[in-house]
Amino acid sequence: MHPQHRFRAVLAICLAPSSISPVGLSLAKPLSTPDQGVAKAPVVSLRPFWPSLPDIEGKLRTVTVVKVCGITNAGDARVAAEVGTDAVGLVFAESPRRVGVEEARRICLALPENVLRVGVFVNSKPKEVLGIAREVGLDLAQLHGDETPEGVTAVREGGVKVMKALRVRDPASLEALDEYEADLFLLDAYSEKARGGTGKRFDWGLAKSLRGRDNIVISGGLGPENVREAVELFEPYGVDASSSLEDEPGRKNDERVRRFVLAARD
């Protein structure tokens, strides 16, 4: 199925009635008019694809969502899906793991329908993010730069869910949680040299107050050896890894991917 057709199918499924109440990843509120020239599409929920979030009283036990980022080829994508990965990340920013639109489409076509396609962008204009999302068939945009709250809102109003990355350096780094209307927040390590994929851990103590929040994804230096510790400390919505699962930049190690998924859900 062509990615655009798959994306329309996703929209149809997501808009179908559901008995599950929308907690956390609710439909986006209409805010302002999107950028001129960008067609406004319905903003939809990811809930039919990702494990259920807690109910309003937190009684429902969640399954930690696992994302493997920096996928550069269909073979690695298939392996990630086969071992139970919930989402794969495709990097469209400057990186040794960067993929072009055509390769990204091939990767997406190789994935089963129940695996989310996440596009990683750094300081791209909302119109560019939305254009790539529609061409490739992305379900979620991970904005990993210095995007403004208005930029995040524009992407969401364009019909694509947003995971805003926050690079944690000090307590002030987390103040942005209240500034953005994002669907999810990814906490990553701060580095002056790179935007993600550094293999560095941030100071978990700075974010321990976020334990149990249903819109937090933990990243930065996670691997099979320590992801369980992160899950137990934060009880996050999800976990994300890239460089720790590689033989070399852009080439995943099948066994480490498998162990990462198993450890996250042990």
Active site annotation includes 108: no
Reported as type and span, the H/E element at residue 105 is helix 101-110
Active site annotation includes 69: yes
Residue 198, φ and ψ in degrees, nearest 5: -90, -15
Rounded CA separation 153/128 (Å):
14
- Catalytic annotation, pick one of 86, 188, 214, 240: 188
Reported as type and span, the H/E element at residue 189 is strand 184-189
Q: What DSSP string runs through 78-102?
A: HHHHHTT-SEEEEE-SSSTTB--HH
Please, how many CA atoms are within 13 Å of residue 169, restricted to the half-sphere of its CB? 8
Q: Which long-range contacts (CB under 8 A, 24 or more apart) does 221-227 make?
A: 221/189, 222/260, 223/256, 223/260, 224/256, 224/259, 224/260, 224/262, 224/263, 225/263, 226/201, 227/260, 227/263, 227/264
- Catalytic annotation, pick one of 69, 86, 108, 214: 69
> Which active-site residues does the annotation give?
69, 188
